[in-house]
């Protein structure tokens, strides 16, 4: 893998030195750290440089550092599936970033995921709503690190006890409610 | 075209039926590696809870059972909830003493009208199945594993 | 009441009912992957009179194939209430029985028998193709013996749906209060 | 000018591709707009996997896509191996190729059922399922399970292959190859099928790339792009094969690509069996704790590019963690059912009767949208 000259020439001067090659095996990739305000201009430049195949947005929550890291994964089919990861960090208490849905059509749906699972607001996106989580979950975005869904589920369905069958409120049939087995530990 | 289709159809018409005549004429299809019901050897179990901690479905609960088990000082044994078990075999892999093994005794015997019956205590697990079965997963499944060598090249 | 008593011994009606079980064609989750071998050549469930029906109005059995999310539960209940009596419930896989592998998932239902009267449980993850067949046979046996009450003593759709919403809402309220 | 009508397709519908619903806007017979309604299969995998140890996560991950489970395992394994910074043993690489190709075959044969069913070609579904059954029996023999195998493992494969692996595999291939050939003759060259599928759902190559299509749907449009060839992961680098591709990008081309891929898979399996070293280690021992790092596993699954992006960071700075910090899965189905379906419906006259063919030819697997 080598640096793509076209890509380097299209990048703004401030980012020219920041491009690096990392990873191994199938994860070998070009990486670029950018500031969140430049996300639209960089992704437009990258699209023109041939990285027009959008793979996805990975959002990582770091509550200790109070940031969300967004990793835009793009690949170029002309350059034989070369992977480009564009990383940016936004503040956790002000989760705003520009939408790129008009450059990459698939980003529209990936951004909805980012909104419903992490609560990131993509500015300029016209359809931020609950999409997958509709009817399935009410409350704050569940994939944030400070929401302990396992504890919530344990409290509600299992009475706080692990390794037990769920606490049932009623049974319409098919369950005698008898617990078999020896004495509990 | 029509004749070709008729010949192709005839070929399948005259073939022996593919259907397995389960359950009355043929038993369930299992192989010598099918992972199904566990058997607990209570004389080997040391009560270390490794199986419980390695279960992704939290299906294993430890029960206290009094009896003459010199190896098991705490007298705790695993019981498996077969309404939660996913038959991944990680518990067998984690067991240090080969006390927990898997057989090809399939789950057709557990189909029930009352789901309380699928909760197996250690004593239920220790009882071998009534019908013939094969041991399909035990410590013999793995030979000792070698350590990984470092990756050769880091071509950037 | 009289009908319930009648059902206890052999009746021609039950025998006939048990011989032709049409199931709803609704692949609600991953357990559905083992149904094609049952419906097609490898095991051929039509030997036992089981076949998929395209709509709930024509079907006798609702088969729950795997985990049930809150969103699917609403669909399942609606389907169940569109079915004519007699109707039976066959549950496959572990997840609807106890939560299964998704025991700590925030969006799945942990016990389906809180919402539907279950006749037969087929444990396993996945249940093997043969297990599904055996489950249908067990259901058939149960119907033939007249051990299933018919019609079911169950609330009408409005009442039940209200109950579900109340239940789900209540749990979600609980979640919210616990978060503080 | 007739009034636009909004109706729902699915989730309970014999023509629906699994548990997923669509909202259609109709103008007479023509579908004007289509919106996906996902979420019926949402379990919150990414959150659940953050709570479990990395080896338990391997048991979780095949459940994301039930039709093609081994490629999910493979992508997870690739990402994990990058974090551990190891290379699998030579023998395991070949076993993985064989397992992955059988998974692809099984998935394509199941797709035959989804595709031929709505056109009422019951014979094709029956043959395909019979061929798939042979593969499932083979999986049962090698890995111990019919559907979820948990066989591909970080550091190699989980246990050694049985002694008569080669004969068994060749025997299975001998059974399924004539069945696939009969499908080729009996279904793919059937005039009714050709008339129904040809010209439906045209997708140009440039649009396919821009909208995010991968896998057979992209190759059906004439783009020769296959991660097996371009990344040469596992033992694919040593195996010589051709990428089948279509020309016009309609439903018929996409179907034909899948059929040819089945032949290619059989060819790859035969070659891998020949080249495989039958001696040597099959799995490395790995430590229970995860090093800090990041891995991206990209594999060419039966439906397209499957990506597992795993980040391992300590959740508290003092200890090394047993669980990954964040896992993101990107399934190939999301672009197929959202952007591409919308694009085709907007640019072409698709009637309600064509919709099952169109959706079937895209081969969706809804759980990998919902996860």
Q: Give the one of B18, B56, B112 whose C-beta lies nearest to C121's C-beta.
A: B112
Of the partner residues A1, A174, A184, the one whose CB lies closest to the CB of residue B115: A174
List, in sequence order, the alpha helices (H) in chain D: 45-51, 54-60, 69-84, 90-116, 122-143, 165-183, 191-197, 205-211, 216-220, 227-230, 251-275, 333-335, 341-347, 355-362, 367-370
> What is the rounded distance in angstroms from the CA atom of residue D68 to the CA atom of residue D304?
11
Distance CA B151, CA B154 (A): 8
* CATH assignment at residue D167: 1.10.645.10
Strand order in the sheet with B100-103: B38-40, B100-103, B135-137
Q: Report the residue from B17, B19, B84 with minimal CB separation from C103.
A: B84
Q: In this structure, are strands B76-80 and D293-300 parallel, antiparallel, or unpaired? A: unpaired
Shortest Cα distance, chain A CAs vs residue B114, angstroms: 5
Q: Does A109 touch chain C (CB under 8 A)?
A: no
Tell me whether residue D13 is in a domain: no
Cβ distance C98 to B83 less than 8 Å, yes or no, reads yes
Question: Which sign, positive or negative, has the C-alpha torsion A170, A175, A178, A181?
Answer: negative
For chain A positions 31-90, those within 8 Å of chain D (CB to CB) are 52-56, 58-62, 71, 73, 77, 80-81, 83, 85
Q: A93 with A66: CB under 8 angstroms?
A: yes
C 62-121 residues inside an 8 A Cβ radius of D: 67, 69, 71-72, 75, 79, 101-102, 104-108
Domain range list for chain C: 2-8+20-153
Domain membership flag for residue D153 = yes
Q: Give the C-alpha separation, A57 to A76, whole Å.
A: 16
Residues 6+ apart with CB under 8 A from C147: C7
As a whole number of angstroms, the distance between CA D63 and CA D46 comes to 12
Residues of A in contact with C71 (CB under 8 A): 134-136
Please name the helix (run of DSSP H) or strand (run of DSSP E) that holds residue D5, with its range, or none: strand D5-9
Partner residues linked to A121 by β-bridges: A96
Per CB-CB distance under 8 Å, the chain B contacts of C36 are none
- H-only helix segments in chain A: 5-10, 39-48, 107-118, 149-158
Q: Which of A77, A105, A106 sits opposite D223 (nearest CB)?
A: A77
Measure the CA dihedral D5/D10/D15/D19, to 10°: 150
Task: Check: CB of residue D362 under 8 Å from CB of residue D18.
Answer: no
How would you classify the pairing of strands B38-40 and B100-103? antiparallel
Secondary element (H or E) of residue C46: none
Per residue in B110-143, pLDDT tens? 888 888 888 888 888 888 888 888 888 888 777 7
pLDDT at D19: 83
State which residue of chain C sits closest to D12, comparing Cα positions. C26
Strand segments (E) across B53-95: 60-64, 76-80
Rounded Cα distance, D106 and D63, in Å:
16
Q: Is A131 on the interface with D (CB under 8 A)?
A: yes
Distance (Å, whole) CA D75 – CA D148: 15
**Residue A27 φ/ψ region, left for φ over 0, alpha for ψ in the -120 to 50 degree band, beta for the rest:** alpha
pLDDT at residue A178 in the model: 56
> Which H, E and C letters describe D13-25, residue by residue?
CCCCCCCCEEEEE
Residues A81-110, mean pLDDT to the nearest whole number:
88
Which of C91, C126, C134, C136 is most worth mutating to test chain B (most B CB atoms within 10 A of its CB)? C134
Question: Considering only CA atoms, which of C117, C75, C113 is closest in space to residue C95?
Answer: C113
N- to C-terminal Cα separation, chain C: 49
In a domain, D231, yes or no: yes
Single pTM value for the model: 0.90
Domain at B26-140: CATH architecture: 2-Layer Sandwich (3.30)
ipTM: 0.87
Q: According to the model, what pLDDT value does residue D76 have?
A: 92
- Which two tokens mark D82? 């990058």
Query: How many angstroms separate the CA atoms of D371 and D328, rounded?
Result: 10
**Distance (Å, whole) CA D356 – CA D197:** 10
Q: Does D111 touch chain C (CB under 8 A)?
A: no
A124: left (phi over 0), alpha (psi -120 to 50) or beta: left
Compute the average pLDDT of residues B13-30. 83
Contact indicator for C159, C81 with CB cutoff of 8 Å = no
Question: CA angle at residue B148 from B146 to B152, to 5 degrees?
Answer: 140
| CATH class of the domain comprising C2-8+20-153 | alpha beta
How far does the CA of residue A47 sit from the closest CA of chain D (Å)? 10
Q: Which residues of C touch B58 (CB under 8 A)?
A: 103
pLDDT at residue A181, rounded to an integer: 45
CA D158, CA D77: separation in Å to the nearest integer?
11
Domain map (residue ranges) of chain B: 26-140
Note the pLDDT of residue C162.
Answer: 64
For residue D60, the SS3 value is helix
Residue A37, exposed/middle/buried by CB under 10 A (0-12, 13-18, 19+)? exposed
pLDDT at residue B154, rounded to an integer:
47
pLDDT band at B156 (very low <50, low <70, confident <90, very high): very low
Higher pLDDT, C160 or D305: D305
Q: For the domain covering A5-158, report its CATH number.
A: 3.30.460.80
Residue B90 · residue B100 · CB < 8 Å: no
Q: Which residues pair with A69 in a beta bridge?
A: A60, A89
Element at D312 (helix H, strand E) = strand D305-312
- pLDDT above 80 for C161: no
Look at residue C30 and tell me whether its pLDDT is greater than 70: yes
Q: Which residue has the tokens 């046996």?
A: C141
**Neighbour subunits, B (≥3 Cβ pairs < 8 A):** A, C, D
Of B57, B108, B113, the CB nearest to C100: B57
Instruction: Give contacts of B24 with chain C, Cβ < 8 Å.
Output: none
Q: Would you say D39 and A136 are in contact if contact means Cβ atoms under 8 Å apart?
A: yes
Question: What is residue C157's predicted lDDT score, i.e. its pLDDT?
Answer: 55
DSSP-derived letter for residue B128 is P
Residues from chain B that touch D142, judged by Cβ atoms under 8 A, are 33
Domain residue ranges of chain A, discontinuous segments joined by +: 5-158
CB C95 within 8 Å of CB C67 = yes
Residue in chain C nearest B59 by alpha carbon: C100
Residue D10 forms part of a structural domain: no
Q: What is the mean pLDDT of each run of 10 residues along chain D (371 residues)?
A: 76 76 85 86 87 88 87 91 88 90 91 81 84 90 88 87 88 89 85 84 86 87 86 86 86 89 91 87 86 88 89 73 87 88 86 84 85 80
Strands A67-76 and A53-62, how do they pair?
Answer: antiparallel
Task: From D53, D74, D91, select the one nearest D287 (Cα to Cα).
Answer: D53
- Given pLDDT bands bounded at 50, 70 and 90, which one contains residue C58? confident
Confidence of residue A183 (pLDDT cuts 50, 70, 90): very low
Chain A residues in contact with D338 by the CB 8 A cut-off are 106, 108-109
Strands B135-137 vs B100-103: parallel, antiparallel or unpaired: antiparallel
Distance (Å, rounded) from C-alpha D86 to C-alpha D95? Answer: 17
Task: Look at residue D217 and tell me if it is in a domain.
Answer: yes
Average of per-residue pLDDT across A74-84: 85
Place of tokens 């394994």: D77
> Would you state the structure tokens that stand for residue D50, as one six-digit string?
């953050």
CA distances from A47 to A7, C23, C148, D204 (A): 9, 50, 63, 18
Alpha-carbon distance of D187 to D181, in angstroms, equals: 10
Question: Chain D partners of C102 at a C-beta cutoff of 8 Å?
Answer: 43, 48
* Cα Rg of chain D, angstroms: 21
Cβ–Cβ under 8 Å, residues D255 and D188: yes
Cα dihedral A137, A140, A145, A146 sign: negative
Nearest to B116 among A21, A24, A180 (CB): A180
Token readout for B106 is 């399939």
**Chain C interface includes D141 (CB < 8 A):** no
Confidence of residue A182 (pLDDT cuts 50, 70, 90): very low
Domains in chain D: how many in total? 1
Output the CA–CA distances (angstroms, integers) from residue D111 to B27, D132, D351, in the order listed: 29, 11, 22
pLDDT (0 to 100) of residue D348: 83
**Given an 8 Å threshold on Cβ–Cβ distance, is C121 in contact with B28?**
no
Instruction: Give the closest-approach CA distance of C96 to chain D in angstroms.
Output: 13
Task: Please tell me which residue, B93 or A167, carries the higher pLDDT value.
Answer: B93
**Dihedrals φ, ψ of D244, to 5°?**
-75, 140
Contacts of B147 (CB under 8 A, 6+ apart): D284, D285
Distances B19 to B16, B22, D278 between C-alpha atoms, Å: 9, 8, 35
Looking at residues C148-168, what average pLDDT do you find? 63
Contact A21 B156 (CB under 8 A): yes
């Amino acid at each position: 893998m080598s640096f793509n000259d076209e890509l380097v020439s299209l990048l703004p001067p401030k980012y020219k030195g920041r491009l690096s090659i990392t990873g191994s095996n199938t994860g070998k990739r070009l990486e670029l750290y950018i500031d969140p305000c430049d996300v639209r201009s960089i992704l437009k430049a990258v699209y023109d440089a041939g990285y027009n195949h959008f793979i996805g947005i990975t959002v990582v929550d770091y509550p200790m550092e109070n940031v969300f890291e967004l990793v835009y994964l793009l690949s170029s089919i002309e350059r034989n599936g070369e992977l480009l990861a564009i990383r940016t960090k936004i503040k956790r208490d002000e989760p705003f970033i520009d939408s790129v849905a008009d450059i990459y059509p698939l980003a529209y749906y990936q951004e909805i995921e980012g909104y419903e699972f992490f609560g990131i607001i993509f500015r300029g996106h016209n359809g931020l709503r609950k999409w997958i989580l509709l009817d399935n979950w009410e409350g704050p975005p569940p994939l944030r690190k400070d929401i302990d869904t396992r504890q919530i589920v344990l409290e509600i369905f299992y009475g706080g006890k692990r390794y037990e069958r769920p606490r049932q409120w009623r049974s319409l049939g098919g369950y005698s409610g008898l617990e078999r087995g020896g004495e509990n530990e | 075209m029509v004749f070709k289709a008729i010949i192709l159809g005839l070929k399948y018409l005259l073939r022996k039926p593919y259907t397995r005549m389960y359950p009355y004429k043929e038993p369930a299809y299992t192989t010598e590696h099918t992972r199904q019901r566990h058997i607990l050897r209570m004389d080997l179990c040391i009560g270390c809870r490794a199986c419980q901690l390695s279960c992704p479905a939290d299906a294993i609960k430890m029960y206290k059972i009094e009896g003459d088990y010199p190896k098991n000082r705490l007298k705790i044994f695993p019981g498996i909830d077969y309404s939660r078990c996913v038959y991944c075999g990680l518990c067998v892999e984690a067991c240090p003493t080969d006390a927990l093994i898997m057989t090809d005794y399939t789950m057709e015997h557990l189909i029930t009208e009352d789901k309380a019956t699928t909760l197996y205590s250690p004593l239920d697990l220790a009882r071998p199945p009534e019908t013939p079965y094969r041991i399909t997963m035990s410590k013999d499944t793995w030979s000792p594993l070698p350590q990984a060598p470092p990756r050769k090249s880091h071509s950037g | 009441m009289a009908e319930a008593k009648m059902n206890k011994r052999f009746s021609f009606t039950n025998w006939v009912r048990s011989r032709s079980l049409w199931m709803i064609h609704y692949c609600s989750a991953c357990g559905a992957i083992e149904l094609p071998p049952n419906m097609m050549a490898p095991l051929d469930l039509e030997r036992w009179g089981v076949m998929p029906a395209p709509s709930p109005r024509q079907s006798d059995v609702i088969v729950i194939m795997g985990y049930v999310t809150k969103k699917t539960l609403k669909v399942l209940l609606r389907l169940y209430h569109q079915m004519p009596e007699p109707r039976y419930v066959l549950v496959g896989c572990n997840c609807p029985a106890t939560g299964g592998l998704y025991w700590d998932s925030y969006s799945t239902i942990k016990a389906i028998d809180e919402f539907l009267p279950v006749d037969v449980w087929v444990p396993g993850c996945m249940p093997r193709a043969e297990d599904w067949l055996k489950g249908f046979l067990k259901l058939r046996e149960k119907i033939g013996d007249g051990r299933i009450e018919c019609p079911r003593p169950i609330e009408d759709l409005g009442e039940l749906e209200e109950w579900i919403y109340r239940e789900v809402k209540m749990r979600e309220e609980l979640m919210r209060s616990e978060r503080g | 000018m007739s009034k636009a009508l909004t109706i729902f397709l699915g989730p309970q519908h014999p023509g629906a591709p699994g548990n997923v619903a669509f909202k259609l806007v109709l103008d007479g017979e023509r579908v004007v707009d289509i919106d996906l309604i996902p979420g019926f299969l949402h379990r919150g995998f990414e959150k659940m996997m953050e709570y479990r140890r990395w080896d338990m996560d391997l048991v979780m991950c095949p459940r994301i896509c039930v039709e093609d489970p081994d490629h999910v395992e493979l992508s997870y394994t690739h990402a994990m191996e990058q974090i551990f910074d190891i290379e699998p043993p030579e023998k395991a690489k070949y076993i993985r190729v064989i397992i992955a190709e059988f998974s692809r075959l099984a998935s394509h044969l199941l797709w035959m059922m989804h595709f031929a069913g709505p056109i009422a070609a019951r014979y094709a579904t029956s043959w395909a399922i019979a061929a798939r059954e042979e593969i499932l029996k083979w999986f049962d023999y090698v890995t111990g399970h019919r559907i979820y195998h948990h066989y591909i493992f970080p550091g190699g494969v989980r246990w050694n292959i049985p002694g008569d692996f080669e004969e068994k595999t060749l025997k299975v291939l001998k059974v399924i190859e004539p069945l696939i050939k009969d499908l080729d003759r009996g279904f793919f060259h059937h005039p009714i099928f050709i008339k129904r599928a040809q010209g439906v759902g045209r997708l140009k190559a440039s649009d396919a790339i821009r909208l995010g299509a991968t896998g057979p749907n992209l190759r059906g449009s004439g783009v020769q792009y296959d991660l097996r060839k371009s990344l040469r992961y596992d033992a694919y680098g040593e195996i010589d094969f051709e990428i089948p591709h279509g020309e016009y990008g309609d439903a018929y081309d996409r179907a034909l690509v899948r059929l040819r891929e089945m032949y290619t898979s059989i060819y790859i399996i035969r070659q891998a069996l020949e080249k495989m070293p039958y001696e040597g280690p099959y799995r490395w021992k790995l430590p229970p704790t995860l090093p800090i790092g990041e891995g991206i596993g990209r594999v060419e699954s039966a439906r397209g590019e499957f990506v597992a992006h795993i980040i391992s960071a300590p959740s508290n700075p003092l200890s090394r963690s047993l669980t990954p910090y964040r896992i993101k899965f990107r399934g190939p189905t999301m672009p197929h059912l959202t952007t591409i379906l919308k694009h085709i419906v907007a640019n072409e006259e698709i009637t309600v009767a064509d919709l099952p063919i169109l959706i079937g030819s895209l081969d969706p697997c809804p759980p990998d949208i919902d996860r």
